[in-house]
Structure 1
Amino acid sequence: MDGLLTFEHGEIRLGDTLVPGVLQRLSVGGRVRYDEAMQDGLSGKTKTPMGWEDSEVSISLLLLTDDDSDCFDKLAELNRLFKGHDNAANPRVLRVANPHLAARDVDQVVFDSLDSSEGNNDDTVEATLRFMEHRPPIQISEQRATGVAGAAPTSSTTTEPGLSPSILGGR
């Protein structure tokens, strides 16, 4: 692991480095993964749900000008963090420590994108940091082997019509 991303009391830290800016919003998005196929004789594609895409984490920051530095200095620091890499010059994989992300089962992320914008009214820059959930193939294989996600129950004593055993969760 290349570092720890933490969120406490409105501060974001990447390892020991305090991320500049005022936290405006933290959001987590998830989507279903579909297999799309053309059907003979029909227009359009059929979509079959096949699991879940990796979650996307978005953090909005407001970069202010103060006595120590201006908003563009803070943006340059964010850019250095974004372009930071591990020993093999790859983007860093970060463990996360945050109750919101824990509730969404996000344990590791990669700093995926950095967007910034400014207005013409004040000396501020809005920055959006996007992180993509990182689930190494070995972790996915282990989840399948141990049955953590979507496993069929080992025994079923009660059945309900129309519900698959995996939805019933072993009832």
Structure 2
Amino acid sequence: MPYLRFATGDRLRLDGEEMPGVVVSVEVEGENSVESLPREGRAGDVHVLRGYRDFRVRLTLRLAGPDPLAEARKLQAKFAMSKTEPLRVVHPHLAARGVEKALFARLVTREEGGEEGLDAVLELIQTEPREALKEANAAEEARLQGAMGQGPVAGPPKEGAQAKRNPPQEPKPPRYVEAFVQGQQSALGLVGGGR
């Protein structure tokens, strides 16, 4: 798997090859996927968490060599070849946010009036190869299957266990009802009624 190593204030290195431009800033963006649903007859919306989106990484590069347009072409050619292949990214900021692998998502170049050179924004999106996800899911499934045969498992009680712990009892009516059924008219006095 190709790797992308860089440091802020230094050049990008793609598989050890130095790329054009100097990394000016690194931005890592991650957010939850939230759906807003209107409430009927009430003000405001209900916000429902639907999951999370993969991290987006934006690297701002300054292309200020003798020929910035040639540097932009070289950058475009290199990353155009790696559009479908994940890159292993190596940078302390990205490691702190948990981004290890990413795909090339987009390249934006910007030319400012009155300034020499170009700015380039290289955008990467976090990814995990499908094979790794399949392996992780299979390992998790095997771990869960192995745990099912060992020791107690949380869940509903087995048939009859509840009955053994709490034997059924006849419900008893209140005292005033028992007295009334036995023919005592003064049973109302037990509940504060009658004289």
Q: Which has the higher helix share?
A: 2
Q: Is the 8 A contact 2:32 2:50 kept in 1?
A: yes
Cα deviation digits, residues 15-54 of structure 1 (max 9, x gap) = 1321211211011111011244455555775321233210
Identical amino acids, percent of aligned pairs: 26
Please list, as runs of the form range in 1=range in 2, the aligned pairs for 1:63-142 lying within 5 A after superposition.
63-66=63-66, 70-85=67-82, 91-137=84-130, 138-139=132-133, 142=136
**Alignment partners' CA distance in 2, 1:140 and 1:73:** 41
2:53 aligned with 1:53: yes
Structure 1 or 2, whichever has the larger Rg, is 2
- Greater Cα shift, 56-65 or 3-12: 3-12
Number of equivalent positions: 139
TM-score by structure 2 length?
0.61
Q: 1:35 to 1:141 in 2, by over 3 A?
A: farther
Cα deviation digits, residues 110-141 of structure 1 (max 9, x gap) = 01010011123133101100100013455388
Q: Mark the runs of 5 or more structure 2 residues left unpaired by the alignment.
A: 144-195
Determine which structure has greater relative contact order: mean sequence separation of CA pairs < 8 Å that are 6+ residues apart, divided by chain length: 1
TM-score by structure 1 length?
0.69
Q: 2:140 aligns with which of 140, 145, 168?
A: 145
> Where in structure 1 do 4 or more consecutive aligned residues deviate above 3 Å?
35-45, 143-147
Cα deviation digits, residues 85-115 of structure 1 (max 9, x gap) = 4xxxx52210111111111000100010100
